[in-house]
Amino acid sequence: MTAVRVIASEIKGFHWFIKFMMLLVGIGVVASLLRFVYGLGATTNMNDTYPWGLWISFDVVTAVPLAAGAFTLGAIVHCFGIKKLEPLVRPAIVTGFLGYSLVSIGLLLDLGQPHRGWHVFRYWNVHSPMFEVSMCVAAYTTVLFLEFLSPVCERFGLHLPLRLLRWIEMPLVVAAAAISTLHQSTLGTFFLIAVDKLHNLWYNPLLPLLFWVSAICTGMCIIIIEASACHKWMGQPNEGVLLRTLAKILPWTLGAYIAIRLYSLFVLSDGPFFDNPLLTLSFFLELVVGFILPFIMFTQKSVRDNDRRRVIAACLVVFGLVLNRFNVSMFGMMDPNQIYYPSLIESLVTIGIIAGHILFFVLIARYFPIFEHHPETVDYSLPDSFQKHDGGDKGTKVTEAGRTVKAS
């Protein structure tokens, strides 16, 4: 009883925004229950012409690259040794972990037989991109979970597992990057089978590569946005200096993306391309506004160094990616005689999932040390090196920059 009262009073103390998010999540949960009671046909606008709707397009195909920050940053920091970006890693991991967990939930809602989800591990079909993605998502969610365990253990002062986690951190990071490369690109492979269905503007054999590169770009942009948002709304320090570094990498990845995209379009695809005005518009919005414009912006020092402009550019990339994923998985697959738009319940579920993501992030940030972890002081090369330092407990720590952060 007391626990309930504690939780209740705790909730009472939340910001209205958090409460609103909780409401949205609640609605989403109810909507998902309706899906099981009344079936997919009655509750969604999916049908035999549109077997995949909003849930696959957003909750899976889009959400996965949006959660790509974790592996990108992990690799940048740990493998390429750009250590100064380390403070961004933990929030990215939390975002990734939440993202993937929710992807899994979204996928389960979408499955006709969610209770048989485990069949994927029982009946292997290595020819199936879906099999590959499922395996990867499962593996990667586990990796992220393990990575996420660190702040949890720190929070509860569990030293032994922490040491273990530290010890496997590097392999985890490498695994994360490798697995992500696979499934981020395999999401693109999904649509390689939709030959004759996916519009020529998007169908090309390099879809997997394009999906992977754009996921990397987006992963970094999400980090920029997230860090800026945390600074603005959650009282976190301005990581501007770090983000500037990220912003310096972006023109390269974006540039690569645009180059491959144009190559694939003009060299590898067959027309007609511009037979449908709406798709043409969508295509230009995606490519020009979503990729070329931010590319140009990021090449400018004035954008990279300016917090606001940098976030705008990052947002454009996210916009481009979202539009791209929708173009590939939904708009570009539209039947000329029948349009699809999500039903209320589908939308409520997806909104609930997005709200859940924000809500859980805020709550985790509230109760777990994800921002104050600046482990440059930790020597990773030695498994037991953790002992040498006084970290792990909640409390104050000294950052490289010498700033002091209070755990919330």
Partner 1 sequence: MSNVDTSKNNAFLIDMTKCTGCRGCQVACKQWNQLEAEETEFFSGEGYQNPPAMSEYTFTRIKFRDYQKNGQNEFAFYKEMCMHCNEPACASVCPVGAFQKTEEGPVIYKADRCIGCRFCMIACPFGVPKYEWSKGLPLVKKCTGCHSRIKEGLEPACATACPTAISYGPRDEMIKLAEQRLARYPDRYINKVYGKEEAGGTTVIYLTSLPFDELGFKAVTLRPLPGYTWQALRLVPGIFLSVGGGLSAFSWITHRRERLKREQQALQNEQDSAEPKEEKE
Q: Which of 4, 12, 13, 113 binds partner 1 (CB under 8 A)?
A: 113
Identity of the residue, 208 or 294, whose beta carbon is nearer to partner 1 in the bound complex: 208
**DSSP character string of 133-182:** HHHHHHHHHHHHHHHHHHHHHHHHT-HHHHHHHHHHHHHHHHHHHHHHHH
Choose one: 78-86, 147-155, 263-271, 297-305; the region binding partner 1 (CB under 8 A): 78-86
Q: Which is nearer to partner 1, 33 or 281 (CB)?
A: 33
21 and 355 in contact (C-beta within 8 Å)?
yes
Please pick, from the candidates 7, 10, 26, 80, the single residue that binds partner 1 as defined by CB under 8 A: 80
Q: Which is nearer to partner 1, 393 or 400 (CB)?
A: 400
Task: Decide: is 266 part of the binding site for partner 1 (CB under 8 A).
Answer: no
Residue for token digits 């549109």?
Answer: 50
In the complex, minimum distance from the CB of residue 119 to partner 1, in angstroms, rounded to a whole number: 5
- Contacting partner 1 (CB under 8 A), which of 6, 79, 241, 262? 79
Q: Which residues, 322 to 361, sit near partner 1 by CB under 8 A?
A: 333
User: Looking at 188-196, 267-275, 282-290, 350-358, which segment touches partner 1 (CB under 8 A)?
Assistant: 188-196
d(CA 64, CA 68): 7
Q: Establish how many alpha carbons lie within 13 A of residue 54's alpha carbon, considering only the half-sphere containing its beta carbon.
A: 19
Please report whether residue 195 would count as binding partner 1 according to CB under 8 A: yes
* Interface with partner 1, residue 167, by CB under 8 A: no
Work out how close the CB of 41 gets to partner 1 at its nearest, in angstroms, rounded to a whole number. 3
Q: Smallest distance, Å, CB 328 to partner 1?
A: 12
Q: Does 112 bind partner 1 (CB under 8 A)?
A: yes
| Site map (CB under 8 A) of partner 1, residues 116-155, x = contact | xx-xx-xxxxxxxxxxx-x---------------------
Count of chain residues binding partner 1 (CB under 8 A): 67
- Residue 287 · residue 264 · CB < 8 Å: no
Tell me phi and psi for residue 338, to 5 degrees: -150, 125
Of 42, 60, 170, 171, nearest in space to 108 by CA: 60
Q: Would you count residue 160 as binding partner 1 (CB under 8 A)?
A: no
Are 378 and 390 contacting, i.e. CB atoms less than 8 angstroms apart? Answer: no
- Please write down the long-range contacts of 12-21, taking CB distance under 8 Å and 24 or more positions apart: 18/359, 18/362, 18/363, 20/355, 21/355, 21/356, 21/358, 21/359, 21/362
Check binding of 208 to partner 1 (CB under 8 A): yes
Nearest CA among 378, 376, 372 for reference residue 403: 372
Whole-angstrom distance, CA of residue 28 vs CA of residue 351 = 7
Interacting residues toward partner 1 by CB under 8 A:
36-42, 46-49, 51-52, 75, 78-81, 107, 110-117, 119-120, 122-132, 134, 170, 173-175, 177-179, 181-182, 185-186, 188-190, 192-197, 205, 207-208, 333, 380-381
